[in-house]
């Protein structure tokens, strides 16, 4: 197996990198090897945003399944501290140092707006904010759109500032569009990326460790069966921490991010099929178009850079007891498609989780896709998480409720919780207590009683066992208040964050299942 | 969401009292601002990491470091035995080992340092130690420490009048317990020191610190060096908030020790988790209170005992407790009081300075109490507050004996009350709550009064050095440090103002112990007050020399030096006008000294540590805030809907920077009181030691309606350009957020039941309080 050099564009210029460990983070490489110290380390775990960079790539995902790679240019923000350099092969990396160059030596409008609005104090988080805003700027200016405040806040939700209180930074996100435009030369960038494009997979090696990035599903499955000990790598939002924080030896890495088949989203046979390597951003956009009820969950699911890097497949395959996707997917009846050397098998998602961090996944298998049933017209669905902070926090409790309401009668109720047991798990007693009942106070009371039997949560730094228990019950009450037949309350009456749903709603939900492709 | 006086100062605007951008803003936004870790490393630089205790309290019976030494890339390992001078970096009391020597006193305490070829290697190697411990009983809870009379310092008490008799005679009594959590500083740039050995045993140290002089001293003591052998340089910090006042010392000492022993440049940058495990935080406080009041809510007597978690050592807990005692009164006249403070010794991180320095913990107690009194009496808390304000006959003496001479709290609160439509919104909220079964709104207006100066008089001094070069450009160095608060910007404004030149002509340099000696910490909000005055003094000396020269040279014998005007980069000598740069070069040729030192010592201060009385503060800053929140009574989730802030910065030197300080402090303090929760497990291990588990406010926490204004005022005292200190006081503004949440929770009951709401008011704390209120008022209130 030949070892390739890593090739990518750094601030517009092609670079070729070798001689670094497979797990060298982009942040270390920028700072130590390139002396680009504008990108800062605040936490080393993707939670503060001081290391935010913008990455560009030619990508083919989106709703249209296509066999061929698309030339569509996509730019998105990432946390440089939890990206391994080999994963950037074929992409373009922009750091804060690029902006002045782009603006011919003066400040870019994003930077000028930050100065004008007094958006920096100590300045340490500032380059990260500037890059998040630059990402937004590049999104909006060519399209001729202007973000509203909700969009700006969402864009910045992964950047922590301890000095300003955010108001002036959010204002800079508005003001930057009022200054003379500086448009990124997307054609030049596209051309640069096309020149880097490899026809097949990519293999990098250093010091006996390999970084494999196969191009095809068949190649991936073959590699996996040959190297069952290797670590499968998708968005690196978790494995980055294994390396940065736990010094784990991850051995050989198999990166799923280049496998075209895993990067597709589409509808088939009554399911929305989301490839395992689809970034969370795209996966949730597709989910929320069909299930707008998941809007708040989406808004609160990690931060934008983490959603841009992480994948739904990785989130599921990781099997964390508090993965916030799992409850909603479980109640929707999602299934997971596994692929091994002997072919495919499909499992209900809830059957995939065996115990704490244990999954029904053979050594030669990979998660290929998640399939979510399309919406039934009688569906009542909600999923909420509870945490100390709205933005990018890990939930104490994550709840999902789904039922079919037919003439006021509950059919096929499915309820699942994260944070209440060793895995995300259905509340089977509660479901049984509801099946076939009129969705009234008596049914709620019976369900609450059953819920108390369904879980025995633990207490930890996020919440006590008692809070988890009471809050879980109260979320069931809230679900009832919003979906009951008699005088249901709307979200404005039941949720303090209803006002934050606007951004999620922008993705224009599909009007009905029939109208979907 | 506009700050209503967001000023856009053009470069041509006068230097002082205009909202010029931060002097480094263009560097911040372009990534060119250099922090310690960004300094190009000298050849041969190696990296240190610390090995930490895994036990809360234990004797080390064996320290196995062979595996650490054996790791490829490791250069050296140092323990306490390698420290040639004193193994201590405590700022006041000398009970802070640099490296634990046989005894560990908290989980996270550094035991050894490993130096390796790279940062990653050093961190990895540090985890390979095999340490054997003999566990000792650990005290993890400050109330348990209090029970065991285990304190790091003797208890403090301030009594005035006859509180016992007044309490007994009061028509109403309210007694209770309450608690407020601690807070991690979470400076975005972590602790870091970079030490370079120089000739003759000297050390040059770049250190992210608020206190370069103290770093110079502790490094000197640890290495057995004289102060003149250690230079500490500090261009800027990526935030400090008090966390880099005393506790940068451990990192400075270890880096300097390793550099000195290895004769190589050594950088020590703990990663975020290690930083949070090692360093102290804001003290959590536990209160036992008893107040007496009349039918209107006027406080007749108060007794409070505050137990602060000091952690394993004294650090700055003494002065923190003193400030808490001196801020229990906040804006209220308390005739008969008994205020006590205990510094509980616990086997946790040694708590330290954090913006406000005990002041917020002292003042929030009385705000909680007044809020409780009002609800008890069925009155609007604002009315009870007003009734108790300082002011009126015989009501201007603080418990510690300082007269309140500059009181503006009545006018300020009246202006905010009207401007924020407090009364109308109060009625609107009552209507909303009556119709809303699940969500409840709450509203609160809280005032603040904050004393400005170090409580220890001798810290209230500063020096500066101003150079005027022959091209007319000016360089200013002073004893303060820039941590984002805009100190350098303000000092440059002061110097430009004094010399009558455009701000762009003045540049500030890094703090440097070899330029200005014996500096105080940049702390207690005094940075601009002290260093601004010192820089003004230096600039004034130069101006006076230039004026004398100009009068003699151009005045034709008829114009005195005091008639020479410096303005807009010009010097006016009667009818003659000379550009400043022109005058400077002529003065140079005439051998006039164009640089000067400056010095300032705050006047009128006195403090008797034994009686806790005197005049510890030069003046007071004031402010008030109104917050409106929406609370979910089912989950305890909440959201800040609107905040109106009105703050007294005197005659602000830079309104844009001051508004930034006010808003930033508000959100930071809101984080302290609502979402930032420090959580230790049963073994004393801090489990919230990274931003994944410790949540500071993020973008969605900034309210959609956020109105911030500066109160029109000028300092009653001769402060720098009649401005007032603004760093810490506004941290008290978000008391209004906590009490608005409490107000909303009360609305879930009968409105008269006081919700037992602890801080931080996490969703869990809120739900607990909701359920307590509902239990007290009957289940009928459930949605």
Residue A329 C-alpha from the chain's centroid: 14
Residues 761-780 of B with CB under 8 A from A: 762-764, 767-768, 771
Among candidates B484, B634, B702 on the partner chain, residue whose Cβ is nearest the Cβ of A477: B634
**Phi, psi for B707 (deg, rounded to 5):** -115, 120
Query: Catalytic: B214?
Result: no
CB B276 within 8 A of CB B312: no
CB contact under 8 A, A45 and B272: yes
CB A329 within 8 A of CB A316: yes
DSSP type of residue A415: E
First to last CA, chain B: 33
Mutate to test the interface with A, among B21, B26, B31, B775 (most CBs of A within 10 A): B31
Cα dihedral value A92, A97, A102, A105, nearest 10: -160
Q: At what angle do helices B249-262 and B212-223 cross, to 10 degrees?
A: 50
- Confidence band, pLDDT 50/70/90 cuts, at residue A358: confident
Among candidates A111, A460, A496 on the partner chain, residue whose Cβ is nearest the Cβ of B30: A111
- Confidence band, pLDDT 50/70/90 cuts, at residue A505: very low
Q: Tell me whether strands B439-452 and B461-468 are parallel, antiparallel or unpaired.
A: unpaired
pLDDT exceeds 70 at position A62: no
- pLDDT of A321 reads 59
**Mean pLDDT calculated for residue range A277-290:** 94
A53 contacts on B by Cβ (under 8 Å) = none
DSSP-based three-state secondary structure for B259: helix
Give the whole-angstrom CA distance, residue B355 versus residue B186: 12
CB contact under 8 A, A118 and B22: yes
CATH number of B406-454+613-783: 3.30.365.10
State ipTM. 0.97
Place of tokens 């759109």: A145
CB contact under 8 A, B31 and A157: no
Structure confidence by residue, pLDDT tens digits, A292-346: 999 999 999 999 999 999 999 998 888 765 678 999 999 999 999 999 999 999 9
CB contact under 8 A, A396 and B764: yes
Among candidates A152, A247, A499 on the partner chain, residue whose Cβ is nearest the Cβ of B127: A247
CB B248 within 8 A of CB B191: yes
CB contact under 8 A, B28 and A120: yes
Mutate to test the interface with B, among A94, A103, A124 (most CBs of B within 10 A): A124
- So where are chain A's domains? 6-97+186-255, 380-500
Q: Which helix (H) or strand (E) holds B755?
A: none
- pLDDT of B68 reads 98
User: Which among B424, B728, B771, B779 is annotated as catalytic?
Assistant: B728
Give the whole-angstrom CA distance, residue B207 versus residue B350: 20
CB contact under 8 A, A122 and B187: yes
Q: A13 - beta bridge partners?
A: A10
**Mean pLDDT calculated for residue range A90-115:** 97
Give the whole-angstrom CA distance, residue A91 versus residue B235: 36
Structure tokens, B672: 């302290």
DSSP-based three-state secondary structure for A364: coil
Give the whole-angstrom CA distance, residue A202 versus residue A207: 17
Whole-prediction pTM value?
0.97
Positions in chain B short of pLDDT 70: 1-8, 779-783
CB contact under 8 A, B698 and A392: yes
CB B340 within 8 A of CB B302: no
Residue B484 C-alpha from the chain's centroid: 12
Give the whole-angstrom CA distance, residue A281 versus residue A300: 12
Beta strand residue intervals within B554-681, DSSP E: 565-567, 570-573, 576-579, 595-601, 606-608, 613-615, 619-632, 638-647
Q: Which of the four CATH numbers 1.10.3260.10, 3.65.10.10, 3.40.50.720, 3.30.390.50 does domain A380-500 have?
A: 3.30.390.50
Per-residue 3-state assignment (H helix, E strand, C coil) for A253-272: EEECCCCHHHHCEEEECCEE
- Confidence band, pLDDT 50/70/90 cuts, at residue A500: confident
Give the whole-angstrom CA distance, residue B263 versus residue A74: 50
Among candidates B273, B634, B706 on the partner chain, residue whose Cβ is nearest the Cβ of A478: B634
Give the whole-angstrom CA distance, residue B504 versus residue B527: 21
A80 contacts on B by Cβ (under 8 Å) = none
Task: Say yes or no: domain A6-97+186-255 is CATH 3.10.20.30.
Answer: yes
- pLDDT of A71 reads 76
Q: Which of A253, A261, A194 is nearest to A57 (CA)?
A: A194
CB contact under 8 A, A164 and B660: yes
- Confidence band, pLDDT 50/70/90 cuts, at residue A70: low
A44 contacts on B by Cβ (under 8 Å) = 271-272
**Mean pLDDT calculated for residue range A370-387:** 96
Q: Which of B208, B207, B264, B203 is nearest to B42 (CA)?
A: B264
Structure tokens, A262: 């895993």
Give the whole-angstrom CA distance, residue B438 versus residue B631: 8
Give the whole-angstrom CA distance, residue B578 versus residue B257: 54
Give the whole-angstrom CA distance, residue B270 versus residue B261: 20
Please give the share of chain A, as a percent, with pLDDT higher than 70. Answer: 94
- pLDDT of A68 reads 52
Distance from CA of B554 to the nearest CA of A (A): 41
Give the whole-angstrom CA distance, residue A59 versus residue A68: 10
Residues comprising chain A, all counted: 517
Among candidates B28, B657, B668 on the partner chain, residue whose Cβ is nearest the Cβ of A123: B28
- pLDDT of B562 reads 95
CB A151 within 8 A of CB A136: yes
- pLDDT of B780 reads 58
Q: B462 - beta bridge partners?
A: B600
CATH 3.30.365.10 in chain B is located at: 406-454+613-783, 461-601
State in words which class domain B461-601 has: alpha beta
Give the whole-angstrom CA distance, residue B206 versus residue A414: 59
Distance from CA of A219 to the nearest CA of B (A): 34
- Confidence band, pLDDT 50/70/90 cuts, at residue A64: very low
- pLDDT of A322 reads 61
């Amino acid at each position: 197996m030949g070892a390739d050099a890593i090739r990518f564009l750094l601030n517009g210029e092609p670079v070729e990198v070798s001689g670094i460990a497979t797990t060298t983070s982009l942040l270390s490489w920028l700072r130590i090897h390139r002396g680009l110290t504008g990108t800062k380390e605040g936490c080393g775990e993707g939670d503060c945003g001081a290391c935010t960079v913008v990455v560009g790539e030619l990508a083919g995902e989106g709703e249209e399944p296509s066999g061929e790679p698309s030339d569509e240019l996509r730019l998105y923000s990432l946390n440089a501290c939890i990206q391994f350099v080999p994963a950037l092969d074929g992409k373009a990396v922009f750091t804060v140092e690029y902006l002045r160059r782009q603006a011919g030596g003066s400040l870019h409008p994003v930077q000028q707006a930050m100065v004008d609005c007094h958006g920096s104090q100590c300045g340490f988080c500032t380059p990260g904010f500037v890059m998040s805003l630059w990402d937004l700027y590049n999104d909006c200016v060519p399209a001729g759109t202007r973000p509203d405040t909700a969009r700006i806040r969402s864009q910045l939700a992964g950047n922590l500032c301890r000095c300003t209180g955010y108001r002036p930074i959010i204002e800079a996100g508005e003001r930057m569009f009022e200054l003379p435009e500086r448009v990124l030369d997307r054609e030049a960038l596209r051309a640069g990326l096309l020149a880097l494009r490899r026809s097949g997979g990519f293999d990098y090696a250093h010091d006996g460790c390999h970084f494999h990035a196969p191009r095809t599903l068949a190649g991936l499955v073959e590699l996996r069966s040959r190297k069952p000990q290797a670590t499968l790598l998708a968005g690196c939002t978790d494995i980055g921490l294994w390396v940065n924080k736990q010094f784990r030896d991850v051995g050989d890495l198999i990166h799923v991010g280049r496998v075209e088949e895993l990067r597709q989203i589409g509808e088939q046979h009554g399911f929305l099929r989301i490839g395992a390597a689809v970034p969370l951003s795209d996966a949730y956009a597709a989910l929320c178009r069909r299930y707008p009820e998941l809007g708040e969950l989406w808004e609160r699911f990690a931060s934008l850079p983490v959603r841009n890097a992480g994948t739904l497949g990785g989130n599921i395959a990781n099997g964390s007891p508090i993965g916030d996707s799992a409850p909603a997917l479980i109640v929707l009846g999602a299934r997971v498609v596994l692929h091994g050397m002997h072919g495919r098998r499909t499992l209900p998602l809830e059957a995939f989780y065996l115990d704490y961090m244990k999954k029904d996944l053979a050594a030669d298998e990979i998660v290929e896709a998640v399939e979510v049933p399309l919406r039934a017209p009688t569906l009542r669905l909600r999923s909420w998480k509870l945490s100390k902070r709205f933005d990018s926090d890990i939930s104490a409790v994550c709840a999902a409720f789904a039922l079919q309401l037919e003439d006021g009668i509950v059919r096929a109720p499915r309820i699942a919780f994260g944070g209440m047991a060793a895995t995300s798990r259905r509340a089977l007693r509660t479901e049984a207590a509801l099946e076939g009942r009129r969705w009234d106070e008596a049914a709620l009371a019976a369900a609450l009683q059953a819920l108390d039997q369904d879980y025995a949560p633990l207490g930890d730094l996020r919440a006590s066992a008692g809070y988890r228990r009471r809050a879980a019950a109260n979320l069931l009450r809230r679900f009832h208040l919003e979906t009951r037949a008699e005088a249901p309350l709307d979200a404005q009456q039941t949720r303090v964050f209803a006002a934050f749903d606007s951004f999620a709603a922008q993705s224009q939900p599909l009007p009905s299942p029939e109208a979907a492709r | 969401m506009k700050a209503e006086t967001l000023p856009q100062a053009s470069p041509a605007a006068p230097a002082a009292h205009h909202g010029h951008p931060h002097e480094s803003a263009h560097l911040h936004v372009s990534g060119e601002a250099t922090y310690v870790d960004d300094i190009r490393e000298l050849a041969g630089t190696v990296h240190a990491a610390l090995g930490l205790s895994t036990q809360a309290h234990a004797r080390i019976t064996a320290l196995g470091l062979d595996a650490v030494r054996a790791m490829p890339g490791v250069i050296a390992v140092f323990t306490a035995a390698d420290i040639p001078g004193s193994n201590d970096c405590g700022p006041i009391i000398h009970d802070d080992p640099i490296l634990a020597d046989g005894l560990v006193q908290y989980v996270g305490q550094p035991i050894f340092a490993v130096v390796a070829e790279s940062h990653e290697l050093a961190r990895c190697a540090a985890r390979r130690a095999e340490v054997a411990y003999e566990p000792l009983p650990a005290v993890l809870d400050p109330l348990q420490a209090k029970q065991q009379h285990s304190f790091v310092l003797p208890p403090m008490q301030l009594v005035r009048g006859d509180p016992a008799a007044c309490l007994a005679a009061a028509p109403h009594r309210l007694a209770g317990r309450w608690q407020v959590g601690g807070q991690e500083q979470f400076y975005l740039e972590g602790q870091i020191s970079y030490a370079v050995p120089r000739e003759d045993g000297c050390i040059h140290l770049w250190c992210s610190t608020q206190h370069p002089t103290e770093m110079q001293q502790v490094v000197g003591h640890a290495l057995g060096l004289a102060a003149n052998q250690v230079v500490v340089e500090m261009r800027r910090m990526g935030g400090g908030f008090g966390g880099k006042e005393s506790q940068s010392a451990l990192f400075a000492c270890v880096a300097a020790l390793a550099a000195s022993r290895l004769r190589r440049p050594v950088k020590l940058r703990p990663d975020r988790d290690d930083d949070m495990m090692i360093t102290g935080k804001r003290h959590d406080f536990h209160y036992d209170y008893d107040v007496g009041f009349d039918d209107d809510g006027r406080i007749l007597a108060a007794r409070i005992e505050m137990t602060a978690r000091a952690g394993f050592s004294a650090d700055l807990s003494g002065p923190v407790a003193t400030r808490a005692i001196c801020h229990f009164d906040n804006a209220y006249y308390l005739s008969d009081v008994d205020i006590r403070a205990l510094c509980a010794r616990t086997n946790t991180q040694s708590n330290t300075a954090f913006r406000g320095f005990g002041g917020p913990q002292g003042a929030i107690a009385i705000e909680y109490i007044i809020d409780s009194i009002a609800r008890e009496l069925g009155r609007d808390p604002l009315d009870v507050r007003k009734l108790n304000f300082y002011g009126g006959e015989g009501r201007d003496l603080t418990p510690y004996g300082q007269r309140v001479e500059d009181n503006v709290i009545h006018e300020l609160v009246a202006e905010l009350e009207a401007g924020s439509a407090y009364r109308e919104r109060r009625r609107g909220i009552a209507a909303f709550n009556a119709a809303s079964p699940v969500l409840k709104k709450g509203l609160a207006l809280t005032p603040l009064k904050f004393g400005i100066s170090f409580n220890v008089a001798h810290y209230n001094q500063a020096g500066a050095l101003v150079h005027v070069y022959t091209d007319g450009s000016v360089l200013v160095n002073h004893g303060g440090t820039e941590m984002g608060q805009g100190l350098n910007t303000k000092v440059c404004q002061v110097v430009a103002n004094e010399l009558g030149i455009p701000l762009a002509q003045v540049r500030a340099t890094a703090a440097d112990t070899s330029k200005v000696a014996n500096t105080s910490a940049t702390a207690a909000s005094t940075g601009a007050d002290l260093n601004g005055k010192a820089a003004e003094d230096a600039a004034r000396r130069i101006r006076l020399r230039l004026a004398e020269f100009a009068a003699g040279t151009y005045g034709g014998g008829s114009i005195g030096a005091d008639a020479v005007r410096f303005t807009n980069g010009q010097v006016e000598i009667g009818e003659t006008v000379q550009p400043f740069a022109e005058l400077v070069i002529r003065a140079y040729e005439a051998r006039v000294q164009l640089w000067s030192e400056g010095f300032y010592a705050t006047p009128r201060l006195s403090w008797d540590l034994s009686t806790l009385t005197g005049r510890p503060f030069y003046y007071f800053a004031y402010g008030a805030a109104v917050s409106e929140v929406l609370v979910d009574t089912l989950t305890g989730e909440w959201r800040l809907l609107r905040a109106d802030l009105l703050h007294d910065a005197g005659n602000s030197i830079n309104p844009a920077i001051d508004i930034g300080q006010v808003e930033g402090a508000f959100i930071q303090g809101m984080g302290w009181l609502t979402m930032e929760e420090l959580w230790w497990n049963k073994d004393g291990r801090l489990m919230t030691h990274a931003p994944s588990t410790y949540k500071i406010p993020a973008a969605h926490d900034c309210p959609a309606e956020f109105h911030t204004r500066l109160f029109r005022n000028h300092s009653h005292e001769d402060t720098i350009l009649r401005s007032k200190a603004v760093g810490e006081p506004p941290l008290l503004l978000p008391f209004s957020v906590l009490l608005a949440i409490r107000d909303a929770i009360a609305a879930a009951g009968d409105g008269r039941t006081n919700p037992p709401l602890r801080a931080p008011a996490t969703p869990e704390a809120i739900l607990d309080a909701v359920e307590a209120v509902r239990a007290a008022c009957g289940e009928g209130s459930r949605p």
